[in-house]
């Protein structure tokens, strides 16, 4: 693998055919899912509410700038601490990534949405800064482990082979693999910080004092001007990230956020003990072993929650995957230097940053007003949000392509020059995203689609941690299977891992 920011991969006909086949397969499976996907449209007069929302977006206002600044500072504090801790944890896991057990563990911890980690830690450590930091750090460690680990795996082995016999494994790693991957790791880690800021904002939805705390209130109350101000503030932080996030300043920032929001928690030993010894023990086993009761409990959960949850999660995630692909292919030219003018590119960047910064909840809500409750708003919301993220990455990647001076322009350039060259990258990015789509289906209970995440959320609301644990386990298993499948597919298609892909 080259050490340029994007690897050059020799084009092989067989792999090109395989890519086409895989794409076709995914589209086919998604089409087969359609009969189970309720995409009906049933709304009557959404315009009044949409007008209110639109007016709010045009007239952002916030009474108390201090509250806004404090929420922004908290958002950054959780994000920076969580991502930093996650990166260290992920790095350590990545060292053992060749082992299947480590890979599975990493897939396990990243399968669980930040919100659910937060709900768990809030139970154990109360509403404390540590709960928020860990909620980000743990799933992010799983993701970092995967990306760093795959980078280490794909590194050019010739450097290591040139080492003298008897070089220690650690020295070999620090002098051969790490230097070759380092640039990629930095790029990826910085990209994850943007994700961390979004995650941190979303943690506010359940009560941590970030931007999401106020944003959720404003959205719920229909105070759209206030929501818009919060949303724009968040977008501003994300847009300017490249400007203020410098490697040299990082220690300073970390120190600042540690002082601002020390990651303390008040662990209550008795509660932690009760949580593990009683709360998460399946209800029928709390009075001692009861095989028959356990069987009934499992059976009831399987038929009422796990089976329908699995079905809905998979159908929704697959449809959203296709939608994400379409949105990506349609929108990446808007920011690519191979198309358009500086003005249109600025517009493209603006649109993409809005879409990827908007919480899916907001997009789903607009969709719900427009089309009524069904899978349609869910698919559209997930596709727009995730498509915007991938389009951003594919668009940047396309800038690195060299076209002949006399290359065709317009649609022909798109179809015959650019698309074939970016397709491999595009496919790798999109396949990576599948995992995340499955996890994000959890956020859409407002649409009345009972996914696994919907049932996990219900279990937490009902304080049934035994059920929550079982459902989280199922989600993690599903994620681990998808991870293995994607790994196999990527091998077969010779898709390289692209660090910027998640």
Partner 1 sequence: MSIRKRIAAARRAVLAATLTVVSSLASAQTFTFTAIPDQDESKLTERFGRIADYLSKQVGAEVKYIPVKSYPAAVAAFRNNQVQLAWFGGLTGVQARNLVPGSEAIAQGAEDTAFKTYFIAHASTGLKNSAEFPAAIAGKSFTFGSKGSTSGRLMPEFFIRDHFKKAPDAIFSRVGFSGDHSRTMTLVESGAYDVGVLNYTVWDDAVKQGSVDTSKVSVIWTSPTYPDYQWTIRGDVDAAWGKGFKQKVQQALLDMKDPQLLQAFPRTGFVPAQNSDYAPIEKTAIELGIMDEIM
Which residue's CB is nearer to partner 1, number 122 or number 329? 122
Q: Does 374 bind partner 1 (CB under 8 A)?
A: yes
Give 433's contacts (C-beta < 8 A, 6+ positions apart): 321, 324, 386, 389, 390, 501, 502
- Which sign does the torsion angle of CA 425, 427, 432, 433 carry? positive
Residue 163 DSSP label: S
Q: Of 76, 94, 125, 394, which one interacts with partner 1 (CB under 8 A)?
A: 125
| Residue in 384, 381, 393 with CA at minimum distance from that of residue 432 | 393
Q: Does 225 bind partner 1 (CB under 8 A)?
A: no
Listed ranges 24-32, 99-107, 370-378, 477-485: which one lies at the site for partner 1 (CB under 8 A): 370-378
> Restricting to residues 238-297, which ones interact with partner 1 according to CB under 8 A?
266, 268-271, 273-274, 277-278, 283, 286-288
Query: Cβ(361)–Cβ(204) under 8 Å?
Result: no
Q: Does 216 bind partner 1 (CB under 8 A)?
A: yes
Query: Cβ(427)–Cβ(23) under 8 Å?
Result: yes
- What phi-psi label fits residue 228: left (phi over 0), alpha (psi between -120 and 50 degrees) or beta? alpha
DSSP for 86-107 reads HHHHHHHHHHTTTSHHHHHHHH
Task: State the nearest-atom distance from the C-beta of 74 to partner 1, in Å.
Answer: 13
Q: Does 226 bind partner 1 (CB under 8 A)?
A: yes
Opening angle at CA 88, ends 82 and 90, nearest 5: 90
Task: State the nearest-atom distance from the C-beta of 320 to partner 1, in Å.
Answer: 19
Give 226's contacts (C-beta < 8 A, 6+ positions apart): 56, 60, 61, 62, 63, 214, 218
Q: Of 43, 250, 351, 419, which one interacts with partner 1 (CB under 8 A)?
A: 43
Q: Does 59 bind partner 1 (CB under 8 A)?
A: no
**Number of residues engaging partner 1 in binding (CB under 8 A):** 56
Q: Is residue 63 exposed (0-12), middle (13-18) or buried (19+ Cβ within 10 Å)? A: exposed
Listed ranges 157-165, 344-352, 367-375, 483-491: which one lies at the site for partner 1 (CB under 8 A): 367-375
Q: Does 470 bind partner 1 (CB under 8 A)?
A: no
d(CA 413, CA 442): 39
Which residue's CB is nearer to partner 1, number 174 or number 463? 463
Which residue's CB is nearer to partner 1, number 87 or number 218? 218
SS3 state of residue 217: helix
Which residue's CB is nearer to partner 1, number 175 or number 463? 463
Q: Of 45, 292, 405, 406, which one interacts with partner 1 (CB under 8 A)?
A: 45
Q: Does 461 bind partner 1 (CB under 8 A)?
A: yes
Q: Of 1, 39, 127, 419, which one interacts with partner 1 (CB under 8 A)?
A: 127
Listed ranges 220-228, 246-254, 343-351, 382-390: which one lies at the site for partner 1 (CB under 8 A): 220-228
252-262 as b/e, with b when 16 or more CB fall inside 10 Å? ebeeebeeebe
Query: Taking every pair of C-alpha atoms in the chain, what is the biggest distance, in angstroms?
Result: 78
CA 9 to chain centre: 26
Listed ranges 83-91, 184-192, 210-218, 378-386: which one lies at the site for partner 1 (CB under 8 A): 210-218
Which residue's CB is nearer to partner 1, number 155 or number 265? 265
Q: Of 10, 13, 35, 42, which one interacts with partner 1 (CB under 8 A)?
A: 42
d(CA 312, CA 466): 22
Provide the CB-side half-sphere exposure for 2 (13 A, CA).
7
Which residue's CB is nearer to partner 1, number 188 or number 460? 460
Which residue's CB is nearer to partner 1, number 282 or number 340? 282
351 sits in which H/E element? helix 342-357
Task: State the nearest-atom distance from the C-beta of 82 to partner 1, in Å.
Answer: 18
Q: Does 303 bind partner 1 (CB under 8 A)?
A: no
> Restricting to residues 409-448, which ones interact with partner 1 according to CB under 8 A?
445-448
Task: State the nearest-atom distance from the C-beta of 306 to partner 1, in Å.
Answer: 16
Which residue's CB is nearer to partner 1, number 42 or number 161? 42
SS3 state of residue 439: helix
Q: What are 486's two structure tokens?
A: 């994607």
Which residue's CB is nearer to partner 1, number 16 or number 127? 127
- For the chain, give the number of residues: 502
Task: State the nearest-atom distance from the C-beta of 200 to partner 1, in Å.
Answer: 15
Task: State the nearest-atom distance from the C-beta of 49 to partner 1, in Å.
Answer: 5
Residues that bind partner 1 (CB under 8 A): 38, 42-46, 48-49, 119, 122-123, 125-127, 204-207, 213, 216-218, 220-223, 226, 266, 268-271, 273-274, 277-278, 283, 286-288, 368-369, 372-374, 445-448, 457-458, 460-464
């Amino acid at each position: 693998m080259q050490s340029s920011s994007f690897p050059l991969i020799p084009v092989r006909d067989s792999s090109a055919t395989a890519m086409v086949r895989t794409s076709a397969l995914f589209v086919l499976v998604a089409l087969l899912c359609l009969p189970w996907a309720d995409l009906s449209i049933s709304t009557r007069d959404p315009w009044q509410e949409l007008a209110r929302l639109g007016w709010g977006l045009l007239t952002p206002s916030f009474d108390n700038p201090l509250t806004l600044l404090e929420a922004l500072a908290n958002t950054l504090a959780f994000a920076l601490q969580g991502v930093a801790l996650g990166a260290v944890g992920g790095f350590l896991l990545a060292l053992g990534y060749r082992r299947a057990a480590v890979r599975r563990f990493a897939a396990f911890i990243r399968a669980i949405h930040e919100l659910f980690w937060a709900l768990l830690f809030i139970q154990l450590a109360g509403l404390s800064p540590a709960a928020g930091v860990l909620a980000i750090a743990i799933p992010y460690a799983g993701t970092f482990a995967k990306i760093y680990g795959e980078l280490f795996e794909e590194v050019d082995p010739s450097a290591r082979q040139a080492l003298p016999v008897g070089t220690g494994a650690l020295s070999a790693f620090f002098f051969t693999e790490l230097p070759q991957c380092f640039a990629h790791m930095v790029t990826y880690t910085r990209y994850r910080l943007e994700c961390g800021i979004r995650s941190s904002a979303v943690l506010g939805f359940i009560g941590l004092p970030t931007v999401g705390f106020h944003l959720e209130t404003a959205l719920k109350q229909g105070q759209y001007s206030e929501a818009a101000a919060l949303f724009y503030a968040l977008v501003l932080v994300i847009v300017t990230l490249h400007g203020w996030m410098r490697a040299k300043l990082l220690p300073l920032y970390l120190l600042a956020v540690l002082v601002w929001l020390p990651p303390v928690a008040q662990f209550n030993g008795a509660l932690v003990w009760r949580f593990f010894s009683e709360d998460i023990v399946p209800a029928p086993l709390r009075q001692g072993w009861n095989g028959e009761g356990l069987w009934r409990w499992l059976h009831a959960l399987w038929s009422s929650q796990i089976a329908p949850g699995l079905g809905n999660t998979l159908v929704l995630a697959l449809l959203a995957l296709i939608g994400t692909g379409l949105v990506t292919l349609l929108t990446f030219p808007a920011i690519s230097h191979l198309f358009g003018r500086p003005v249109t590119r600025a517009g493209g960047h603006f649109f993409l940053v809005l879409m990827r910064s908007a919480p899916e909840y907001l997009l789903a809500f607009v969709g719900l007003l427009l089309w009524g409750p069904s899978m349609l708003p869910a698919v559209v919301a997930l596709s727009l949000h995730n498509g915007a993220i991938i389009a951003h990455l594919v668009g940047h990647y396309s800038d690195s392509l060299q076209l002949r001076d006399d290359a065709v322009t317009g649609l022909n350039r798109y179809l015959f020059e650019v698309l074939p060259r970016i397709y491999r990258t595009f496919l790798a990015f999109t396949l990576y995203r599948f995992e995340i789509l499955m996890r994000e289906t959890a956020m859409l209970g407002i649409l009345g689609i009972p996914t696994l995440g919907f049932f996990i959320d219900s279990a937490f609301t009902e304080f049934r941690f035994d059920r929550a644990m079982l459902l989280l386990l199922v989600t993690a298993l599903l994620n681990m299977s998808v991870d293995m499948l994607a790994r196999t597919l990527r091998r077969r298609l010779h898709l390289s891992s692209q660090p910027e892909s998640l």
